[in-house]
Structure 1
């Protein structure tokens, strides 16, 4: 539950002056006393002493947040000027006291422009009731993507400043003072900082967008104005948001955060924060683990920081599948081997440890730190003949060992043995997916081409069930990366499986998927994906429609959906022209995808604009469904207020 309080200067039967003029019923005992220290407001020293209405609107808004006991406090204070007696100095402090569950999953700064805030006491009289708020709705001022674009457009190296702010919050307990004449800018920086932290950590970060006493205020992050800061005598440092950022050597976590913002990688930012939630001091380890999952190099000293996270029972499942086993140091690979719940990946980590032990004499005493199905077999298998290799990795290792010993490996033998290991006869189990990855990364040159030929041939002739079992995402990525060495033209079913896998994980229009498609000439599914790639780049709707019709093959459905996603940001006029020029099947696929994914209000309104410009499609029914809500109709009429033709079409569609 969330309770509201209004605090301002008013006249009452008991006394006159500053007091609580309205509260929600059932306010917890002691709440007014706990809230009171947060309710003051002093104007900046350079503000006009007797402001008019236009000047009042420019006074800074003090929006603050803190944790009080077991509850959360949001306060928004606005300067009102005169009070009931005509004296200047009045303000309205609107406070919300909420149970933590009411704000769960939200950053407090998201309530910056929440719809429930009052700008004036209105008709409130002392003792009046304010409604209880159940799950207070946040505002819509701080969309992370918009914040990222705003950050990129700033001067004075905003990413260096962000790194300094993140490190200050994560590694110190000092108060951060943000100085700006514009509280909106201060609020944006607090929002960027909040989105750079795990949600639980952001929920404990107290802040205010404006205070006239940033040195003594109770908040961890304090916003203030230049005239306030200039009037203070203090040794405390402040971040002047309109000045160059201070020199700062960022921590790994701060560097990872700024890299994510710079690339506008919001998914990566969320993943980084998710890992940082796993411990009080997990920030640096989270950065290292994220870097590894992105395929970036990390030495063993850095990997040691990630060890507590890999051993944590709540480690997100996505980490296991993204860890590059071939790049892990021994300690991290051993931790993955011991703690990964996926048998295939744990076995892959164990095999990584085994390879490191075999290649590094200093590690040969640490065979007890990881588990293998049969480590003795792996060691003794090095002396076997190629034709008797028990596994695909053993075949690859034996090939390498034979080359090192000067015993040339016969490519045809390697190809034939690889085929039999992938597509075995009798009751022998099929090759494990990680075995394929290990094998192709172990060998190189002619030997790898021969091994790949056997693997691909075995999978092509082994049937769909075998391909589903062996061609995991990791295997598909490796084979796609070696498409120039794989005989995929002679294995259309394997090629299609690889395309499906990459499209599902990297996106139909993702670089890995399209790179594989380019390596598969005369493949209908690949040609359809390449056609889908070209549609979003067309500026002429007619040309885009023609290109859209070239999308065919087994992946035509997902390809058209990907095109729809890529075109979501185009103008309603362009999309409507494309819809009008397209054949029925691709048109309907586009429309159903847009209807399915239009979750934000702005996206739905733009889609209504498409429907009004291109009537007579399945969109008409979708729009009528939207118009059943009277409030939505009023919003749409306002949205199209400058286009009478579209407003008329909207009314006609409703009727």
Structure 2
């Protein structure tokens, strides 16, 4: 390697009268490089420097050792020193000695001396040598390294080291990072700062870290690290966006921009005088600023680190367990396992990952401190991790000691409120690993866990709870027992548990309610089409007899119908299959009653079910539901059975007790259908007319408009004649009947009569003639256009006279 030298001085003046010139330059250095170098190697003495210093004062002047990157990418390493006033005393006298490093910045050797090591080199000249400036084979040799002085320096700058290393890191990562300004009374202290900076940087990066150990004008300096004397430090105040100022004279440093675990670890390594670890870490497969490997080496060397550093070390070693030998791994594990007041959850989790990586691979002695740490922190925080070590991971002595130490805290944590519902189950696993008997606390933990599983299945049934239920059979049995009881009260929650988790009762688990919930959760979509069949399947899968455990019927019905009543037909089948006594004991009789009373109007199966319910559950049915069932029973009797008498009065009396709409409308329809039938009792028709009940008469009018009645009016002359006599009768009845019969004659009968042939009309008249009186004449008059109005007026006249007439409801009518 041929490195050109340059000597530059300000004494004495040259032929052109200038006191500044190159006095010796190696051959072949281009003029452009000299012009650029001349701007970089000047020297201004401190403001308060004496104009004519003595030898001792001259030695105290700061030295400016600098590294600059030139325009062509090469570097210039230079030292400028004050040599005393010129012969006239008019300007300062200095000498600059520079070495040109031709390799472009960033391409320097991966090994070899760094430029900063040239500080104090005996090869630096303070005057132009008589031999001129021959090329050099290497950077000037390092000066004498005083390790004791460096250690003392690090000790006094300890509070600022971490922040300084973080700023140095930013210089390596961000071209626009702020410059670092070091305020020191001695430029040698600045050089030591720069040595520290280069020590933690990758070697090539340290080759092109630009710096100057002294300048009078920091605002004009372009180096990344700048040294100034104390009187020049205040000039940078208020420019925090450009400079990170470390003023050791005034004991000030810039505020940390963000936490930097790598920088903090590097600072602690230097303070422990184990800077060899910084060099060693470069041989590990890691990024230049990865905190993990450096922290791992530091902990293995018994250097105390805060929790973030310990976390980084554990995480890195978990992924690189082959990087450290077993001796260092054991030392690392011991360091992680020591009591610490600042341990955060991330560190505990990282230690758990490290334990998982080493378990079965490293010797038990390596893992044992990590096992103890995991168990101790689980008890301390009440939040055990999902991955807990097994009992075999601890030796008998350590296990016994930990059990004694942790039992009080373990019992207190199990007996108190949990941060997360799954934590107590994990603590039971800790107790199992330690051999601590907490059997008296198991029922309480099981109750809490069962309730949490039903309330939040997905959030509770995590890996820790799964492991606890698998490892602790007694806990599993208690939890399933409690779940079975809770599922009996809330089957929908039980079904959600099995829909959203992988928990399943085994064939040996005799917990009928839970087994039905599990089966309902996995039932195919087609099960909704045959709900009674699904109910029977659930009951068969419960594993118990309905007669031995009637409550399973209630659970099964709530699972199938989600707490709503079944359809009336389904209710009838369920009643027949299980029997009234089982329904009575299960409390499901009310669902059957609700199935009947909430059935829509016209539901024939509800009418068939009602008498069964009235007969089977006479004592249980509350008074508020009885009228609805009685109306349904009457409906059935009116349609197909012996109806007795007093139909209209029964309907009106039961309606006054506020029945459900479906039974009421069903009874209306059945009653009106019978009153429109040919075999109706005339007394019931009279009761309808005399009731003058608008609601019941509206149902009668609606029934008269059904297709069956309309068809019969057209096809049966006798029926049409009968309806004419009924709907024309009772002129003295109330306004509701008057409105109803007018509507029936005009809106129902007239359209039917108009569709008849003359022969069919003659048959109707013949039927009316057989009834006697003037019915046939009135029918003929009613048919003529406009005659109906006159007929209505005549009927109105009768109301003001005699109560008799050409016909009565008791004698004619249909």
TM-score by structure 1 length? 0.45
TM-score by structure 2 length? 0.37
When Rg is computed on C-alpha atoms for both structures, the one with the higher figure is 2
Higher-RCO chain (CA-CA 8 Å, sequence separation at least 6): 1
